[in-house]
Amino acid sequence: MSAVGNPILVVVLSLVAGLLVGGVWSSYQRGAPRAVTAVLALLAVMALLFAALTLLEVM
């Protein structure tokens, strides 16, 4: 079974991206090291991009 176009995967990835964006904002506000904030931001962008590509069935 292919995961491409799976609506459950899109929802889960969107939720993960939202949690990661919240983590980025929280770490930025409390003054965490820039590396931690950058890694969280990169993971959030990757999750959101993968969710969008899966939703559009491009992959």
Tens of pLDDT, residue by residue, the chain (59 residues): 455 567 888 999 999 999 999 999 999 999 999 999 999 999 999 999 999 998 888 65
For residue 39, the SS3 value is helix
State if pTM tops 0.95: no
Q: How far is CA 38 from CA 16, 22, 23, in A?
A: 16, 13, 11
36, two tokens: 């931690």
CB neighbours of 3 closer than 8 A, spacing ≥ 6? 9, 54
